[in-house]
Amino acid sequence: MPRVWELIRHFKEVCHNKGWKTSEYEDVIKIDDTYHNFIGTRTIHPSTFRRIASSRKIAVPEGSSYRIVDVSYIAWIFQQPLSDQLLETLRENPALFKKMALYDLSSVYKGKPLCLKVNKTESCAFSEFERFLKETYGVDTKPLYEPRTNEPKTFKSKLQRAKLG
């Protein structure tokens, strides 16, 4: 399995072949009038996550200059396990579920073909990314949350997540 940045680059090639617009230098895909941004990282501090989540702006090349656009959806692709602080930040801001997806590839880098995810967006690019992981690398994606009857959706504890792998 390639590192996150190489994985995103390979996925952008797949998107380009589907006729979607991709940026050569930024990890953004334009489909119709929506922008889907992929951010590869090892880990992120919750305050940085909140700041990027609230801004959702990105500079995209337009000819010889750049234009600032609103990003419709952001996918965070992590090499290390998601921190409980980050998951708590997400839980405290339920509106983020519609615009953000998180992919935990830490198990994949340990040799287990499983990617834990938080994705409640309507992003066709993220759905295609999950299909790409399965078809290209044999990696299954599994939701990191479990709905419970008459209760809000809750995240699995680290212990429950460890049992998945």
- Digit-by-digit pLDDT tens for the chain (165 residues) are 888 989 999 999 999 999 999 987 778 899 999 999 999 988 888 888 888 888 878 887 777 888 888 899 999 999 999 988 888 888 888 888 889 999 999 999 999 999 999 999 999 999 999 999 999 999 999 998 654 444 444 555 554 554 454
Query: Helices 84-92 and 46-55: crossing angle, nearest 10°?
Result: 40
Phi then psi dihedrals of residue 153, to 5 deg: -65, 135
The tally of domains found in the chain comes to: 1
Helix (H) or strand (E) holding 92: helix 84-92
Phi then psi dihedrals of residue 38, to 5 deg: -110, 125
Which domain range does residue 136 map to? 4-164
